[in-house]
Amino acid sequence: MRRRRASRTTTDRTSRMRDRLRGLFVLLVPALLALPATSVLADIYVYVDEQGRVFFTDIKKSDKYRLFLKEGETEAREKVTIVGSYSLSEVTDEEIDRKIRVAADRYRMDRDLIRAVVKAESNFDPGAVSTAGARGLMQIMPALASRYGVTDIHDPDQNLNAGVRHLKELMDYFKGDLPMALAAYNAGITAVINYKGIPPYGQTRDYIRKVLIYYDAYRKEGR
C-alpha cells in the first residue's frame, strides 16, 4: 500500500505552488523535446500540483491545467525547470498493479519484487521522467527501450515489459543474486562488472536498500 505524504497547511501549499510556478522557465521536459521540430500534433496542457510535480496532458481535464503548447506551434508558451511527470492518459492504481502482475508472471519474476522496483523507481507514476532521461514506471532509458522494441516508453505495458525483462536477464546473469542485479539495473551492468561487485556509489547503494525494504514490506503485506 502506498503511503501518502501528510497534508501541508494551506499557506505552505500556496507558497510551494507559487514558487514552482515562478520556476516554469528554463527548459522543456525532455519528453516534449522529443516531439518533431516542425509542429505539435495536439494542444498540450500543464499542471503543477501541491507537491510541485509537473503533469502534461493532451486533454484539458480541469481548469487547473493551462495551455502549454498549442497544436501547430514549435515554441512552448512556458518552459519548465523541473523534470516531473507528463501523462497522455489516466491509469488507475488498480490497473497498474494488474499490469505489474501480468509482466511479472510473463518473466517468472516475483510480483512483490517488481512492485518494489516500481515503487523505488517511479512511485507508480507512468509519466515519471528523471533528470537523466529515464522514463516510465520502471525508469528505463531510451536506448534500453529501443533494444526491447518499445514504441511508447510511457505506455505502462511496454515499459513494464521492457523493465521486467531486463531485470530478469540481470538476475539470470548474476545467478539470482538480487543485490547485484539491482545494482546493475541502477548503475549499469558494466559498472558492476568493473567493480566486481556493487559499485561504491551512494545513490546505487541507497537504491538497493530502498528496494529491499519495499520488497520485504510488500511480502509481509501479502498482496
User: Helix, strand or coil for residue 186?
Assistant: helix
Is 121 a known active-site residue? yes
**Phi and psi at residue 152, to the nearest 5°:** -135, 100
Specify whether the CB–CB gap between 77 and 68 falls below 8 A: yes
- Active-site residue identified among 78, 90, 95, 121: 121
Number of H helices, E strands in the chain: 9, 3
Using only the alpha carbons of the chain, give its radius of gyration: 19
Q: Which residues contact 157 (CB under 8 A, 6 or more apart)?
A: 99, 102, 103
Specify whether the CB–CB gap between 115 and 214 falls below 8 A: yes
Specify whether the CB–CB gap between 156 and 137 falls below 8 A: yes
User: Helix, strand or coil for residue 44?
Assistant: strand
Positions annotated as catalytic residues are 121
